[in-house]
């Protein structure tokens, strides 16, 4: 936590004058202003500051977490299943901001020991968090499936979906829906760590599509997340292409990313022409923690060639930190989906890191 606080302080000091980044293993020396190669962990922390600055140039700055109100957790209802109890919960993330979540608590495991936990982020869909329970055409019940395996799971609504479908982006204190999501998801981790039956050192995040890149975003900012599973969630921005007709509808190839619910500064400040960061940098920010990316060969949203290029670049950071074995990639012969066999593969991998299975 001390390193994380230190990074946030440096971010605030350096947001205004950041030179162009020239590679993952180079940084600007804060004392001389010169570009230098990254050779030490301290220098890598300086590099992380640069990368976080780049992200916040598009998402807006992460609000401080000091002086926040109490969670004021409200349990709305509960459903008892054989392996777990699912609670419908609302809690306070900031003054005047209430976040609706589903909280899954394993019945037997958490009475014998502290349980690992997972933040489950839903894909695009009107029902939001309910998708992680399987109550949607997506049928991606990774919330309840992880609970059945012994994980405490928290599944929040992303702004614009589920119980947050009427979220007022224009009058929000956040510069983007993405940053609102990042802040909410960090607060979910805060809540998990406050529960006496959660192992605070074994918390991960999983998500598909919208949830897939939101999993990467929150893990880039919050080092308490030790495992990241991202399905169909990303490609390098230069490979993102939604086709000519959709590009016209959104005003440009990157138009979907510039919606109010995502990162409108891409439209308002960067005219859909330049992106201050790329996804290999997001993954590098997560290093040396574990990342598993499921990137299908036939995903029309996130081109697999851009994933291959990004993974090759991000691997440079993992090699530097002697953690290349924790950067894992799968290229299934599938479309934009997270089918059950691949979900099970993700769970087994997470089990191996959290449950020693």
How far lies 132's CA from each of 31, 120, 127, 324, in Å? 48, 7, 10, 30
**Residue pLDDT tens, the chain, 357 long:** 333 333 333 333 333 333 344 689 999 998 898 999 999 999 999 999 999 999 999 999 999 999 999 999 999 999 999 999 999 999 999 999 999 999 999 997 766 789 999 999 999 999 999 999 986 666 799 999 999 999 999 999 999 999 999 999 999 999 999 999 999 999 999 999 999 999 999 999 999 999 999 999 999 999 999 999 999 999 999 999 888 888 889 999 999 999 999 999 999 999 998 999 999 999 999 999 999 999 999 999 899 999 999 999 999 999 999 999 999 999 999 999 999 999 999 999 999 999 876
Q: Which pLDDT score is estimated for 272?
A: 92
Counting Cα atoms < 13 Å in the Cβ hemisphere of 173 gives 9
Q: Give dist(CA 93, CA 68) in Å, integer.
A: 8
N residues, the chain: 357
Q: Which pLDDT score is estimated for 276?
A: 96
pTM for this predicted structure: 0.92
Q: What are phi and psi of 80, to 5 degrees?
A: -95, 120
Q: Which pLDDT score is estimated for 22?
A: 64
Q: Give dist(CA 206, CA 243) in Å, integer.
A: 28
Q: Give dist(CA 124, CA 208) in Å, integer.
A: 9
Q: Which pLDDT score is estimated for 247?
A: 87
Q: Which pLDDT score is estimated for 357?
A: 60
Q: Which of 123, 193, 115 is nearest to 158 (CA)?
A: 123
Any long-range contacts for 184-187 (C-beta under 8 Å, 24+ apart)?
Answer: 184/93, 184/97, 184/99, 184/156, 184/158, 184/159, 185/119, 185/121, 185/156, 185/214, 185/217, 185/218, 185/222, 186/62, 186/65, 186/218, 186/221, 186/222, 187/65, 187/68, 187/91, 187/93, 187/94, 187/99
Helix (H, G, I), strand (E, B) or coil at 174: coil
Q: What are phi and psi of 7, to 5 degrees?
A: -60, -40
Residue partners of 168: CB distance under 8 A and separation at least 6: none
- Is there a contact between 164 and 107 (Cβ–Cβ < 8 Å)? no
């Amino acid at each position: 936590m001390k390193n994380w606080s230190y990074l946030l302080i440096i971010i605030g000091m350096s947001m205004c004058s950041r030179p162009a980044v020239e590679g993952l293993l180079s940084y600007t020396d804060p004392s001389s202003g010169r570009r230098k190669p990254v050779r030490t962990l301290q220098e890598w922390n300086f590099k992380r500051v640069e990368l976080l600055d780049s992200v916040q140039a598009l998402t807006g700055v992460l609000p401080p977490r000091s002086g926040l109100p109490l969670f004021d957790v409200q349990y709305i209802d509960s459903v008892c299943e054989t392996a777990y109890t699912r609670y419908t919960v609302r809690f306070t993330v900031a003054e005047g901001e209430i976040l609706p979540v589903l909280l899954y608590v394993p019945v037997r495991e958490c009475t014998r020991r502290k349980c690992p936990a997972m933040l489950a982020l839903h894909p695009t869909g009107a029902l939001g968090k309910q998708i992680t329970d399987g109550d949607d055409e997506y049928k991606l019940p990774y919330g309840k499936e992880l609970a059945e395996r012994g994980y405490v799971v928290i599944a929040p609504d992303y702004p614009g979906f589920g119980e947050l479908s009427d979220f007022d982006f224009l009058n929000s204190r956040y510069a983007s829906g993405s940053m609102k999501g990042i802040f909410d998801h960090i607060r979910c981790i805060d809540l998990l760590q406050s529960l006496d039956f959660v192992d605070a050192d074994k918390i991960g995040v999983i998500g598909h599509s919208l949830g897939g890149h939101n999993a990467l975003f929150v893990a880039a900012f919050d080092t308490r997340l030790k495992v990241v599973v991202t399905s169909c969630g990303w490609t390098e921005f230069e490979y993102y292409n939604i086709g000519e007709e959709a590009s016209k509808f959104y005003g440009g190839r990157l138009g979907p990313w510039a919606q109010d619910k995502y990162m409108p500064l891409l439209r308002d400040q960067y005219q859909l022409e330049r992106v201050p960061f790329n996804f290999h940098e997001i993954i590098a920010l997560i290093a040396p923690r574990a990342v598993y990316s499921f990137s299908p060969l036939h995903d029309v949203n996130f081109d697999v060639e851009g994933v291959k290029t990004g993974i090759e670049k991000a691997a440079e950071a993992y090699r530097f930190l002697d953690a290349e074995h924790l950067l894992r990639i799968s290229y299934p012969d599938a479309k934009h989906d997270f089918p059950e066999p691949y979900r099970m593969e993700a769970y087994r991998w997470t089990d191996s890191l959290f449950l020693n299975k």
